[in-house]
Amino acid sequence: MRRERIGMSYLHQIGPRRIAPARVTGGETAADLIDSAFLSYNGGRLRELCQVFVRKMLEPDCTVGLAVAGALTPAGLGMSCLIPLVHSGFVDWIVSTGANLYHDAHHALDLPLHQSGPGLDDLALRENQIIRIYDIVFDYQTLLDTDRFFRELLGDDSFGRSMGTAELHYEIGRYLVARGETIGKPSNSLLAAAYESGTPIYTSSPGDSSIGMNLAALKLQGSKLEIDTLRDVNETASIVHQAKRNGGKSGVLILGGGSPKNFMLQTEPQIQEVLGLEESGHDYFLQVTDARPDTGGLSGATASEAMTWGKVDPERLPDSVTCYTDSTIALPLLTAYALARREPRSLKRLYDKREANHQALAQAYMKRHEKG
């Protein structure tokens, strides 16, 4: 009897929730199903991730960064999920692979991609000039047409200068919005949505994508366009610095891992370790990944490991959630949950504040540097 009382007492201390869900009827919304039936294992982690995102990260005082890795835009998730999140003010700044932005342009240019299956004859696809991304297929001409679009646009004299990737993507988005208005069709583009909402998009490795490959070709033709990656490092750090300096919070939502994850999280070590400014780390860390932590790779690194680098505030670790699943499963559910449970937020339009935020960071650094 005493052992039972001790056990019940400890259970109350750790705050469990009894597993006794109502039966699924088929009439539930996605948000209701997540709250009621996603109770344990990675279903439970996805529920926690959705709830922290909606109840805490989407508070007005939190600046939300989104890191995007993996081939999400070819699968249509840019159109179905990322654009609604951006337009709703649920994402304030983005770090993406260049590949996601390149494939985003296929949809903007009305170049079709198709559902298929993974068990195709790849040699036959190659011989018939068909490209495969697992179970997505499209004509090789799609790549050639998209390459031509980027070379013609970025080869214009207006791009013949040094700029960060946020400015590059903003100007591409501006063109795609104007193109959509001219032809009377929605752009279906994350780049266009980011332009409309003033949401800066950065690429951590601008040379590692077909956009970068086409920029390299333009360089051979004498283009004066230079991508200032160091500007990106300071701009992204300034976003987080500005979000936190007046008592606000910073949250990161990481889809996949890789370079976008590191580039988003390194903002805190840049502020603390390199610039020597007082800071404690991101307040919220939410990640969807299929990478294991025990291999030592960054993609699988946990929030507590990130905390040792100063990337996550140690006092906020209880609000950190890692869900081990595929982003193509989690993202539509998270988007549906957020849109059902939260009214749209006012757009922060961080792109419009880039110069001011960058200058504020520079002034804080120089002031600290002068003090030694």
CA distances from 219 to 213, 214, 269 (A): 10, 9, 33
Please choose, from the candidates 247, 321, 240, 337, the residue with its C-alpha nearest in 3D space to the C-alpha of residue 285: 321
116 assigned to some structural domain: no
Would residue 25 count as lying in a domain?
no
Residue 69 is assigned to a structural domain of this protein: yes
CA gap 122, 131 in Å, rounded: 9
Q: For position 245, what pLDDT does the model report? A: 87
pLDDT of residue 3: 54
Answer whether residue 121 is part of any domain.
Answer: no
- Is 244 assigned a catalytic role? no
Structural domain boundaries, residue 77:
30-99+161-174+186-208+226-370
- The crossing angle, in degrees rounded to 10, of helices 98-108 and 165-183 is 10
Number of domains in the chain: 1
How far apart, in whole angstroms, are the C-alpha atoms of residue 169 and residue 192? 9
Q: What is the CATH number of the domain that holds 40?
A: 3.40.910.10
Q: What is the pLDDT of residue 183?
A: 87
For residue 114, tell me if it sits in a domain: no
With respect to residue 260, please indicate whether it lies within any of the assigned structural domains.
yes
Residue 323 lies in a domain: yes
Q: What is the CA radius of gyration of the chain?
A: 22
Q: Of 261, 311, 353, 367, which one is the catalytic site residue?
A: 311
Position 355 in a domain: yes
pLDDT of 1 reads: 46
């159109």: which residue's tokens?
79
Question: Can you give the pLDDT of all 372 residues of the chain as single tens digits?
Answer: 455 555 556 666 656 678 889 999 999 999 999 999 999 999 999 999 999 999 999 999 999 999 999 999 999 999 999 999 999 999 999 999 999 999 999 999 999 999 999 999 999 999 999 999 999 999 999 999 999 999 999 999 999 999 999 999 999 999 999 999 988 888 899 999 999 999 999 999 999 999 999 999 999 999 999 999 999 999 999 999 999 988 899 999 999 999 999 999 999 999 999 999 998 899 999 999 998 888 888 888 888 888 888 888 888 888 899 999 999 999 999 999 999 999 999 999 999 999 999 999 999 999 988 876
